[in-house]
């Protein structure tokens, strides 16, 4: 069982337009409403591919009730923590050329007692020795070190912790020693305080974060693929998405694919983590080609859409400038 924790979940509405023009009235080609939040999406992707998972999330108000209804309709296993306020709604405007504009609400503030209750639910529901995935932004007003505190409690309980967040929350969690972090290039750049213009610079930054006590750094690079830096070295991969539609949730599907491979095949060897990166890339490529934040199932995923770079190509590719990462 892989448990996910989303402290700031959302309703995600996607509106598809031909072209976004500021200040004009536009007619939508289509719309869809999905349950949202990084951890929620990770659980949705895992369950869609037969990997046991449960999402722990706080919900509030009528929007929270609607979110629960959407999750129930998808048969997503959840552990709901009722809180005060109103669950946020996010809007994605997707243009037909693949350009995505996102408008994210801040979400409700959680009290100390509510934050503690979410952690207690995660500790109670996690499988011994299993993964707990802490995902997304912190709620407004939550201390920047809250994920760090959660990581310390979870690892002390014998659980493996993966973290996908950004900004001060990412910077603070590093010293707590999570087993895995999954930044994108922009988030990694912010964490080390310098621009990253090539894969080689991304590798250096990832190794710097590993030096703080992080077990693995899994970096998503958008169209430039992804790379993994861990105790076995550096692994770089690429993926192919011939018909991109929406990048929303693609990073969550990517992380889910990586964790799913480790859950099924174990992570005791370099070979297992290499195959996990390949699977992660294939799941992410599949998600990019689906509407809104729909998560890919087995029928959507093409294993041939991803590959790892052989050693003889790696040196040259590391020096190439990054373009279009995020």
User: Is this model's pTM higher than 0.85 or not?
Assistant: yes
pLDDT given for residue 304 in this prediction: 94
In a domain, 324, yes or no: no
CB 57 within 8 A of CB 76: no
Which residue segment(s) compose the domain that 274 sits in?
Answer: 2-319
pLDDT given for residue 325 in this prediction: 53
Tell me the pLDDT band of 236, cut-offs 50, 70 and 90: very high
In a domain, 32, yes or no: yes
pLDDT given for residue 133 in this prediction: 98
pLDDT given for residue 44 in this prediction: 96
In a domain, 325, yes or no: no
In a domain, 248, yes or no: yes
In a domain, 281, yes or no: yes
How many distinct structural domains can be found in the chain? 1
Rounded distance between C-alpha atoms, residue 177 and residue 215, angstroms: 7
Q: Give the rounded percent of residues in the chain with a pLDDT score beyond 90.
A: 81
pLDDT given for residue 248 in this prediction: 81
> Mean pLDDT over residues 3-17, rounded?
95
Pairing of strands 2-6, 131-135: parallel
Tell me the pLDDT band of 314, cut-offs 50, 70 and 90: low
CA quadruple 49, 40, 212, 177: dihedral, nearest 10: -80
Confidence check: pLDDT of 319 > 90: no
pLDDT given for residue 189 in this prediction: 97
In a domain, 289, yes or no: yes
Q: Give the rounded percent of residues in the chain with a pLDDT score beyond 70.
A: 96
pLDDT given for residue 323 in this prediction: 66
Confidence check: pLDDT of 257 > 70: yes
Confidence check: pLDDT of 223 > 90: no
CB 100 within 8 A of CB 77: no
Confidence check: pLDDT of 252 > 60: yes
In a domain, 240, yes or no: yes
Active site (catalytic) residues: 252
CATH number of the domain within which 75 lies = 3.40.1190.20
pLDDT given for residue 268 in this prediction: 59
pLDDT given for residue 306 in this prediction: 95
The 10s digit of each residue's pLDDT in 155-186 is 999 999 999 999 999 999 999 999 999 999 99
pLDDT given for residue 161 in this prediction: 98
In a domain, 326, yes or no: no
The 10s digit of each residue's pLDDT in 93-129 is 989 887 889 999 999 999 999 999 999 999 999 989 9
pLDDT given for residue 140 in this prediction: 96
Mean pLDDT of the chain: 93
Tell me the pLDDT band of 84, cut-offs 50, 70 and 90: very high
pLDDT given for residue 244 in this prediction: 83
């Amino acid at each position: 069982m892989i448990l996910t924790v989303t402290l700031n979940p959302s309703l995600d509405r996607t509106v598809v337009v031909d072209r976004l023009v500021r200040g004009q009235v536009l007619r939508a080609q289509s719309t869809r409403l999905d349950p949202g939040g990084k951890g929620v999406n990770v659980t949705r992707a895992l369950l869609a591919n037969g990997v046991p998972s449960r999402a722990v999330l706080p919900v509030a108000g009528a929007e929270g009730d609607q979110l629960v209804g959407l999750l129930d309709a998808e048969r997503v296993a959840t552990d709901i923590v009722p809180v005060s306020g109103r669950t946020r709604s996010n809007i994605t405007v997707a243009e037909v050329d693949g350009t995505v504009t996102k408008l994210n609400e801040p979400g409700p503030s959680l009290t100390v007692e509510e934050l503690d209750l979410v952690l207690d639910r995660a500790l109670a529901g996690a499988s011994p020795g299993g993964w707990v995935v802490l995902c997304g932004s912190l709620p407004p007003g939550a201390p920047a070190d809250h994920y760090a505190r959660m990581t310390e409690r979870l690892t002390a309980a014998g659980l493996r912790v993966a973290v996908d967040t950004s900004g001060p929350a990412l910077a603070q969690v590093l010293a707590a020693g999570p087993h895995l972090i999954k930044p994108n290039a922009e988030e990694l750049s912010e964490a080390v305080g310098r621009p990253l213009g090539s894969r080689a610079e991304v590798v250096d930054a990832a190794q710097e974060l590993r030096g703080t006590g992080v077990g693995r750094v899994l970096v998503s690079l958008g169209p430039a693929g992804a790379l993994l830096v861990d105790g076995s070295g550096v692994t770089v991969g690429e993926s192919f998405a011939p018909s991109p539609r929406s990048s929303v949730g693609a990073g969550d599907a990517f992380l889910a694919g990586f964790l799913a491979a480790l859950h099924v095949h174990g992570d005791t060897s370099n070979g297992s983590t290499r195959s996990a990166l390949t699977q992660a890339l294939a799941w992410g490529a599949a998600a990019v080609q689906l509407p809104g934040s729909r998560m890919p199932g087995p029928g959507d995923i093409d294993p041939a859409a991803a590959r790892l770079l052989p050693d003889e190509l790696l040196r040259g590719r590391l020096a190439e400038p990054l373009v279009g990462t995020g």
